[in-house]
Chains A and B, each alone.
Chain A
Amino acid sequence: MSGGASPKVRRLRPGGNAAPELEFWVVGISHHTAPVALRERMVFSADTIAAAAQRLVAGSPTLVEAVVLSTCNRVEIFAMAHRDADVAGTVVEFLGREHSMPPALLEQHRYFHRGRAAVRHLFRVASSLDSMMVGEPQILGQLKEQYRCASEDGIAKDRLRPCFERAFRVAKRVRSETGIASKAVSVSSAAVDLAQRIFEDLGDKTAMIVGAGKMSELAARHLQGHGIASVIVTNRSFDRAVEMARGFGGTPVPFERFTQYLHLADVVIGSVAATGHILGSAQMAEVMKARRRRPMFLIDLGVPRNFDPAINDLENVYLYNIDDLSRVADEHRAEREHEAIRAEEIVEEETERFWRSLHARDLTPTIVALRGRLDEIRRAELDRGLSALRRLEPEERRALEAMTTAIVNKILHAPMSMLKALANEEDTETAAEVAEMVHRLFALEQPTGPGGAVNPRLLREDESGG
């Protein structure tokens, strides 16, 4: 970095006459701050969102790069924008314009974060910690998709890229190190979860629905969603069985003879309105013999019970009633909350690490500039001295060269160690001030360029709700 003669030192404080500093921002409206009636009016459709994001960047001089995320639970704008600009206002105006809504209304529901808090927010969103259903897997895909669009359209570039790439990595880490995403919390999904504990692959399994009701249909839909191969339906009224079987692409069988087909089923869902058990233990033992004791999973959704509880004592038969399933779902919910705590810790740790890496990179220009400045002085003085001492032997020249270099290095040693230590310190304020002081003391030019996008001054946490 050439030290130039200019004594003008760029001021880091707001109000200085330098180019505005950029900072990472997020402004949004989500299920935490707005009711569904408002949120549903804020949704960007898949084919309009890219154009809208481009309009946002094109129309706001303070906003340099942006990614717009829109789901049914949130609309959020992640942006690199001027630190001191009213980015929240800009975004609210933009949203109001796009959705024809009064900005004043949106103002009440919007929130924003900047700097470190915005990074943490992005990490939490990507890891599905900010979701309505914590741990739901869709949000990451949506975020990736929107980021991909924005970078293809050239509105998310070098400044947003590290944030998003890190966010995707953090999400992956959260997913692999915690059970946040692996636990089913509804009764139907708990049933699927259990089925997958017993059977590796539902793709070659058969489900039988005994009693065509709302609950059994929902459970069967879930199973089908997880790839169960075929469905057999039986019902007191055969017409209803035929109708439901058609819906599943399955086979209806008459209710009077359903036990004859039972051995074909790996998963059985019972929800018949009956006073007594429709399936006894002895009958079931026969069924198991017929299927050579291959495991069977019975789900009893009936109240009162459809299946004799003693069936659970048979070898390789697993019988769960509705209470068992809701207990499993409850346990999963509790466990998911527990896992969410660990996930939050991971996000916190990653935010800190990412923030530090930005910060550490930030003092590098100062270090480079300082070294360059001193070396420049050394070289200038050496050249002057050497031109006076023209009769020096090459070895003597080299000795002088080495000596002056050593002097510079000795002088630099302490400040360099301090700068390097500061780069890894938590106290970002001090780091920034020291950097500024060094620049002033040695009349260094303020480094600008792609690397200087995020300034140490921005390491201060800023948070605001709406």
Chain B
Amino acid sequence: MSESTLLHASLLAYFCATLAAGIDLAQPGAVSRRVASWSMALGFLLQALAIAARSREIGTIAVSSFAEQAAFFTWLVAGIYLAVARRYRLAVLGAVVATIAFVGALMALVDHGGVRDLPPGLRSPWLPVHVGLAFLGNAAFAFACLVSGIYLWQERKLKSHSLDPRMRGLPSLETLDQANFRCLIWGFVLLTLSILSGVLWAELSFGRLWSWEPRTLWTTVIWSLYALLLHGRVTVGWGGRRAAALTIMGFLVLLVSFIGVNVLAPGRHAGSFG
């Protein structure tokens, strides 16, 4: 099957997942929930094949355009969802994650271009390692952001004494807080590893550890933000509501920088590799 067929199929599966998850949100039922998770899993698998096909075509990890990056990113978010949703009873996130995955896959399909040549300097086995780690880290941050969203919603309901039937089946605040913390730790470790791999790569290939350009600058900012957040959490007790709010803010900064750097900025890290 060609990459575009696979993408079409995964789009269809994500669409089903979005629909079923939406129905499940409005009127919880075992059938809609099962349909949602199975079609999401199917979409994830098909998109994985599509990404693999595309990567083979261009000879390295398929993140050669902004659209491809977005698709890769949303695919990872869907993967995290599939991995943890059951354990943490986060099926309620299904509708959001399926929509995101749908949009990501759609972008890849619309922007589906020919082979873009990699600049010679980037043709290296370091690229998939560096990029893969960075994206996985960002996906973990994205998931932490979604979990924090649920936390804040439920927290507000509890605080204002107005309970909501939709809270049934949601995990407790304590569990959501823990899930958030775990996602942050994972994201932070992966981001750190990604930076280290970038530094090593730069040192080995270009002879310098660090070059200041928009992406590295922003990454430094984001890394510091999350470091601060985790530090505050571990030492001062920035748990609960504050942690959730800061997680969301951190991710917004990440998102803005991701889009901004891709669209506007020059450099090695620019969207379509120059």
Asked if A198 meets B158 with Cβ closer than 8 Å, knowing A177-B28, A292-B237, A293-B237, the reply is: yes
Give the residues in chain A near B241, CB-CB below 8 Å.
315-316
* A315 and B173 form a contact (CB under 8 A): no
Whether a CB of chain A sits under 8 angstroms from the CB of B5 is no
- With both beta carbons as reference points, the residue of chain A lying nearest to B175 in the complex is identified as A200
Near B by CB (< 8 A), chain A positions 133-150 give none
A contact residues, range: 20 to 34
Whether a CB of chain B sits under 8 angstroms from the CB of A194 is yes
Near A by CB (< 8 A), chain B positions 5-26 give none
Which of A196, A199, A318 touches B159 (beta carbons < 8 Å)?
A318
* A176 and B158 form a contact (CB under 8 A): no
Near A by CB (< 8 A), chain B positions 226-258 give 236-242
B157 to chain A, nearest CB (A): 9
* A320 and B161 form a contact (CB under 8 A): yes
Separation of A194 and B165 alpha carbons in the complex (Å): 13
Residue-wise interface mask of A (162-182) relative to B, using a CB-CB cutoff of 8 A (1 in contact, 0 not):
000000000001001101001
The count of A-to-B residue pairs whose CB atoms sit within 8 angstroms is 61
- With both beta carbons as reference points, the residue of chain B lying nearest to A182 in the complex is identified as B168
The stretch of A33-41, A111-119, A324-332, A354-362 in contact with B is: A324-332
Give the residues in chain A near B238, CB-CB below 8 Å.
293
Which of B29, B158, B178 touches A197 (beta carbons < 8 Å)?
B158
Q: Considering residues A197, A291, A294, which has the most beta carbons from chain B within 10 angstroms of its beta carbon?
A: A197
A304 to chain B, nearest CB (A): 19
Separation of A331 and B164 alpha carbons in the complex (Å): 9
A108 to chain B, nearest CB (A): 41
Separation of A46 and B108 alpha carbons in the complex (Å): 66
Give the residues in chain A near B272, CB-CB below 8 Å.
none
Which of A293, A320, A327 touches B239 (beta carbons < 8 Å)?
A293
* B30 and A198 form a contact (CB under 8 A): no
Which of B30, B173, B174, B237 touches A176 (beta carbons < 8 Å)?
B30
* A197 and B172 form a contact (CB under 8 A): yes
Residue-wise interface mask of A (310-338) relative to B, using a CB-CB cutoff of 8 A (1 in contact, 0 not):
00100110101000100110010001000
Whether a CB of chain A sits under 8 angstroms from the CB of B167 is yes
A198 to chain B, nearest CB (A): 5
Task: Give me the interface of B with A, judged by CB distance under 8 Å.
Answer: 28-30, 154, 158-159, 161, 163, 165, 167-168, 171-175, 178, 236-242
Supply 15 further A-B pairs (C-beta < 8 A) apart from A295-B239, A316-B241: A173-B30, A179-B165, A197-B167, A197-B172, A197-B173, A199-B172, A200-B171, A291-B237, A292-B237, A293-B237, A293-B238, A295-B173, A312-B159, A318-B159, A327-B161
